[in-house]
């Protein structure tokens, strides 16, 4: 599995970037939920909730399955791992940023920025 392109990662972050959707993800992380159980605590209409859920589904954050007249939503942990991987990539960089800072404090030779 190859790392998603920047645009795809941005869509993932954007999906988490709405308070309603973030709350939904948190709720779904605790276990499977129906659409109305996601909508109710957020005072969202069902129609609005469905639209958020579609976005979360498209970005791979959750997967749904219809059982009778109820649609069950489950977390797709894979997507959150993508976020983890991205952080890991950055961590290397920002650690070396700390290293450079440490260098500055010991030997006064700043690396010239672009």
* Interface with its own copies, residue 71, by CB under 8 A: no
1 vs 5, which CB is nearer to DNA?
5
- Binding letters toward DNA, positions 53-82, x by CB under 7 A: x-x----------xxxxxx-----------
Among 3, 8, 41, 45, binds DNA (CB under 7 A): 45
**Residues whose CB falls within 8 Å of the CB of residue 56, separated by 6 or more in sequence, listed in order:** 15, 21, 24, 25, 62, 73
- If binding is defined by CB under 8 A, does position 26 make contact with its own copies? yes
Distances (CA, A) of 107 to 60, 96, 97, 103, 113: 47, 16, 15, 6, 17
């Amino acid at each position: 599995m190859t790392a998603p392109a920047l645009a795809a990662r941005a869509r993932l972050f954007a999906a988490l970037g709405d308070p309603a959707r973030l709350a939904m993800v948190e709720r779904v992380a605790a276990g499977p939920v129906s659409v109305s159980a996601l909508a109710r605590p957020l005072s969202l209409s069902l129609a609005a909730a469905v639209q958020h859920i579609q976005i979360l589904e498209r970005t791979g954050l959750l997967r749904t399955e219809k059982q009778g007249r109820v649609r069950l939503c489950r977390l797709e942990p894979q997507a959150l791992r993508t976020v983890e991987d991205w952080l890991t990539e950055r961590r290397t960089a920002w650690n070396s940023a700390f290293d450079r800072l440490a260098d500055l404090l010991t030997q006064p030779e700043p690396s010239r920025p672009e």
